[in-house]
Structure 1
Amino acid sequence: MNNEVKQQETVLDKKTRYKVLWRWIFTSSVSSNYEKMQALAYCYAIMPFLKFIHKGDPDGLQTAVKNHLQFFNTNPWIAPYVLGVNIGIEEKEKNNAAEAIASLKTGLMGPLAGLGDSMFVVIPWTIFGAIAANMALQGSAIGIVLWLAVGITLKMLSFPLLKWDISQVQV
């Protein structure tokens, strides 16, 4: 008996996937506001996918944009997980998944914020910040390089989060 689960291939091309991710990386923290927090950045990031999936359906695109402009707030480093799951579901269900996507975003943003803040902010920045500060106090410029390398490495962890979730969604 074969228990393998067949993964459905995504129709989203690699270029669009990376465009979504880069948009999120560069706008996740700059477009925050007190009313919708990161919703504008989320909608802006997912827009290339929405245009791709709703080609020739302006009403569907408008509905999807309104859906993605709802309140969203989580840790920016782990949010590509939500983007990836969202893309995977919306790719298969299109307009039929608006309520499911809103519930998904609401249900994941709180727990992932706590997880992301611990894993990507508090622990690494405290440890490597202390090491880098100590090196800088001793006159070594390597502390600055270490600090930057850790930050870039943490941001690059977003890439596998987005890619993995798009391909793993089973609807």
Structure 2
Amino acid sequence: MEAKKISKKTLMKSFHHWFYGNLTCFSQEHMQTFGYLTSMLPIVEELYDKKEDQEKAMHTYTAFFNTEPQLGSLIVGITAGLEEARANDKEGVDEETINGLRAGLMGPIAGIGDSLVVGTLIPVILGIALGLSNGGSPLGAIFYIVVWNLLAYFGMRFAYFKGYELGDKAVEFLVGAQGQAIRKAIAIIGGMVIGAVAATWVSISTAFKLRNASGKVYLNLQNQLDNVYPGLLTVLFIVLCWWLMAKKNMSPIKVMLLLVVIALIGVIAGFFNPGLSY
């Protein structure tokens, strides 16, 4: 009996389903489960002729799934390869094996992906885009839209097909000691990038001054802060934003509104200079 093989056309269709629909019917209960289902549907339809076999295979992918979507395409590619092996009755590849692999890779891939994509790549691209947007130029926005979409598409495509080629061989690498070292290194790099972007594009200073009876300034708070810790207010505001979002689960929109309120009160009270941009 000839071994079943997934065609390149079907693999591309599966990848595009994940690329465009990884957050399909997203909810707190299912997260990316339905996006995963849509990406595996072309694979299952090609590998199995009988409806009952297709239903049984698709049931494997109804389990909860959530990871970083860009790098997460690697997991979809790996399970496509495993599904192909299951369709060919390879020993040791069954529903439990596939779901165990998916569950085992969700966390490591999320950790690497969040640090690499969200914590490093996106801030770098945004930093360049902000530089190109000086003076209200639309080049920054155009640059970000084009570059991000190209990197996301071809990066996800590469990860998907690399996962398909590797199959279960990727598990040991991603979950083992090497994978932990990679996650730690990327997390450190991501932290450095975030710090550099914040230091470059966020600048907060105070206009608070104390004057004597003759009107002469005898205390310039910003100068005093610069002598002790240059950029202290900037650091405090960044830490505040991180604390509100990471520890208090406040949404970014609420944090931005809070910053607007703080800035407004600060300008009225004379703590901030209305002529500065924060």
TM-score under structure 1 length normalisation: 0.86
Query: Displacement, 1:170?
Result: 6.3
Show the 5 A alignment for 1:56-95: 56=50, 58-94=51-87
The structure with the largest alpha-carbon Rg is 2
Residue number among 41, 52, 64 corresponding to 1:47 in the alignment: 41
Residues 1:99 and 2:96 aligned together: yes
Query: Displacement, 1:134?
Result: 2.9
Query: Displacement, 1:82?
Result: 0.6
Higher RCO by CA contacts (8 Å cutoff, separation 6 or greater): 1
CA distance in 2, matches of 1:108, 1:41: 17
The residue type equivalent to 1:90 in the other structure is E
Residues 1:127 and 2:124 aligned together: yes
Query: Displacement, 1:155?
Result: 2.7
Residue number among 162, 165, 175 corresponding to 1:164 in the alignment: 162
Query: Displacement, 1:76?
Result: 0.7
- Identity, % of aligned positions: 25
Q: Secondary structure of the equivalent of 1:49?
A: helix
5+ residue gaps, structure 2, are 170-278
Query: Displacement, 1:37?
Result: 0.8
Q: Deviations for 1:46-104, whole angstroms, at most 9, x for unmatched residues?
A: 10001111112x22211222210110000110121111111111111237510000000
Query: Displacement, 1:36?
Result: 1.4
Residue number among 22, 27, 30 corresponding to 2:16 in the alignment: 22
Q: Secondary structure of the equivalent of 1:90?
A: helix
CA distance in 2, matches of 1:117, 1:157: 14
1:6 corresponding residue in structure 2: none
Residues 1:114 and 2:108 aligned together: no
91-100 or 36-45, larger mean C-alpha shift: 91-100
Q: Is the 8 A contact 1:67 1:98 kept in 2?
A: yes
CA RMSD of aligned residues (A): 2.0
Query: Displacement, 1:162?
Result: 1.4
Residues 1:150 and 2:143 aligned together: no
The residue type equivalent to 1:154 in the other structure is A
The residue type equivalent to 1:50 in the other structure is V
94-103 or 33-42, larger mean C-alpha shift: 94-103
5+ residue gaps, structure 1, are 1-8
Count of residue pairs the alignment pairs up: 162
